[in-house]
Structure 1
Amino acid sequence: MVKAIRIYENGGPDVLRYEDMDLPAPGPGEAQIRQHAVGVNFIDVYFRTGLYPPPSQPFTPGNEGAGEVIAVGPGVDTFKVGDRVAYAGTIGAYAEARNIDVKFLTPLPESVSYETGAAMMLKGLTVEYLLFRSYKVQPGDVILVHAAAGGVGLILCQWAKKLGAFVIGTVGSEDKAKLAREAGADAVILYRQEDFVARVKEITGGALCHAVYDSVGKDTFPGSLDCLRPFGTFVSFGNASGPAPPFSLGVLSSKALFVTRPSLFPFIADQARLREMAARLFDVVTSGAVKIAIHSTRPLAEAAEVHRALEARATTGATVMIP
């Protein structure tokens, strides 16, 4: 029996119930891990509200965590009891312990804490596919990062800067602007006070951006398209303000724009690719080029309050829950 967050029906944060849950022995191909830290991401809200359908109900939300292997199921020889591991991409993280298919697990270096591991896997692997597999950022590229002070945004700004990009970030407050600048943003736009499209034109001298990375959705569309130069790429990877509305592909033709809507899960479905992505992430973090900002650590029992803050856009950096 372990403590876990369970959801019996879709809805607001109040549907998150903290209760006892049976945990069977790990099955074939599974490991059982005692979780030392659990990551929080906006995709957790999507599953809670039903925007993304869960595999079944009731279910335990959460797609990211880090901990220690305490048992392995039949046929598992890639991990053993006592191994430090981290993961992203499979639902069920909001729990003291869980069973997980080992294909999702990555060995966690001793130099990376459990809290950092839980805060970095989903967000960091997301940034890896954004920068290297959706639009491959080159030195001198101009990019726009919406929600630049969020968990993904702060990693994205740092990593893109290391790659030699000129980074423009949008944020909602002066405090968040300071965080984005510290993360490497060359210019910051306060989207609640300024027209971000006009400011991008001003900042770039009318040249506009090679790529726009947009996790906001409805509130920033179609303005994000107007920030792109000819042959620019719009990368939509989230819907924090709601899904972007349908649009005619014809609007892309005047500047021959590229649009992509990737997600992490197809990228990490292949274990060899996952290991490659994770190795690149661990390298950039352990070198100090990218720092993982954990701005809030809360008990797992307070998951409802954590979701309220997340949806109110009252968070910066990563939030980690401790079971």
Structure 2
Amino acid sequence: MTAETEAFRFSEFGAPAVLRWRTQALPDPATEEIQIRHLAIGVNYIDIYHRRGVFAAPLALPTGLGVEGVGVVTALGDGVTGLVLGQRVAYVGGPPGAYAAHRNLPAARALVLPERLDSTEVAALIFKGLTVEYLIHRCVPVARGDTVLFHAAAGGVGSIACQWLHQIGATVIGTVSSAEKAEIARANGCDHAIIYTQEDFQARVAELTGGKGVDVVYDSVGSETFTKSLDCLRPRGTLVSFGETSGPIPPLNVASLGAKGSLYVTRPSIAHYTANRTEYEAAAKNLFASMEAGMVRASRVATYSLRDACRAHEDLEARRTTGSVVLLP
């Protein structure tokens, strides 16, 4: 039996206006799929990349949008085990399609939620929290005493990272665009907030570290920060480039890494750190435990009606938001 749901779809890449709210068919879940009714949907910058079609292998059009959410299981496909009707689950990954009232989802992406966790807070944290988990625990494991430079420290990922890095015992230097965002970063555990619109972050990092540089830079900004980020590293330090909100990164002369101090550069993707179900569940367990313990929280959540997804995208791209953005059906 095929039902219907309301969802956003788009048939061309471009600005938020390409998103179209429509009624579409919702078939029964296929083998090893579940069907959920969304309670909250997380908005991530990867949604904007998908909408713009900026990846090397863009989505096949037409398509849905969104890769994270929280919902209640309403139907089970054949072969699904470990899940029951009425159960509350969160997910990251799988085919885009989270901007919908209901959807079908591979059961392997569903994570059973602890009862004490709020659905909106989980939607605000699940993708960004799992991103931070792999960045600071597995991509470049940060230890007590390390010094980290984290760009966009008041943003959705940055806010979570500052909290978690503070709990680890690292010294966190963050870049932000305004005095207001500097206060947000400090409130989340950032030791030194650099307002990059007012001072040169590279010079300030050198001053803060006595010219030694930082152990690791986490950079999701891209073209505006990449070159100077390399120059903020100590010898044998690592630059983790995991986004490019300001535009594509210019070509890198690999030989320069040796001249700058035998540096490392990596371009990780959450897809490769959550593809294995065991790793995915372990990462989620780590995140959920940190949330329950109050170590990681959604300090600022901007909520929009699901129908207002276009406005949410406009605000996110214009950097009018801090923290996380969540759509409510």
Deviation at 1:120, TM superposition (A): 1.1
Structure 1 contact 111–286 (Cα < 8 Å) conserved: yes
The amino acid across from 1:264 in the alignment is I
Q: Aligned match of 1:15 in 13, 18, 42?
A: 18
Task: List per-residue Cα deviations over 1:224-278 (Å, max 9, x = no partner).
Answer: 0000000101001111111211111011102010111101011111101100000
Structure 2 contact 6–101 (Cα < 8 Å) conserved: yes
Question: What residue number does 2:28 align with?
Answer: 25
Question: What residue number does 1:83 align with?
Answer: 87
After the TM superposition, which residues 92-111 of structure 1 pair with which residues of structure 2 at under 5 Å, given as runs? 92-111=97-116
Q: Aligned match of 1:124 in 121, 126, 129?
A: 129
Aligned CA RMSD, in angstroms, stands at 0.9
Question: What residue number does 1:319 align with?
Answer: 325
Q: Structure 1-normalised TM-score? A: 0.98
Structure 2 contact 50–59 (Cα < 8 Å) conserved: no
| More displaced 10-residue stretch of structure 1: 293-302 or 218-227 | 293-302
Question: What residue number does 2:38 align with?
Answer: 35
Which structure 1 segments of 5+ residues have no match?
Answer: none
| Secondary structure in 2 matching 1:19 | strand
After the TM superposition, which residues 264-275 of structure 1 pair with which residues of structure 2 at under 5 Å, given as runs? 264-275=270-281
The amino acid across from 2:289 in the alignment is D
| Secondary structure in 2 matching 1:266 | helix
| Secondary structure in 1 matching 2:26 | coil
Counterpart Cα distance in 1 of 2:223 and 2:275: 28
The amino acid across from 1:313 in the alignment is R
Structure 2 contact 144–170 (Cα < 8 Å) conserved: yes
Runs of 4+ in 1 over 3 A off after TM superposition: none
Question: What residue number does 1:69 align with?
Answer: 73
Question: What residue number does 2:192 align with?
Answer: 187
The amino acid across from 1:58 in the alignment is P
Question: What residue number does 1:142 align with?
Answer: 147
| Secondary structure in 1 matching 2:104 | strand
Deviation at 1:19, TM superposition (A): 1.3
| Secondary structure in 2 matching 1:222 | helix
Counterpart Cα distance in 1 of 2:58 and 2:71: 24
The amino acid across from 1:38 in the alignment is I
| Secondary structure in 2 matching 1:219 | coil
Deviation at 1:221, TM superposition (A): 1.5
Counterpart Cα distance in 2 of 1:78 and 1:103: 10
Deviation at 1:54, TM superposition (A): 4.4
The amino acid across from 1:89 in the alignment is G
Q: Structure 2-normalised TM-score? A: 0.97
Counterpart Cα distance in 1 of 2:243 and 2:271: 13
Counterpart Cα distance in 2 of 1:321 and 1:294: 14
Same amino acid, percent of matched pairs: 48
The amino acid across from 1:94 in the alignment is Y
The amino acid across from 2:9 in the alignment is R
Deviation at 1:80, TM superposition (A): 1.1
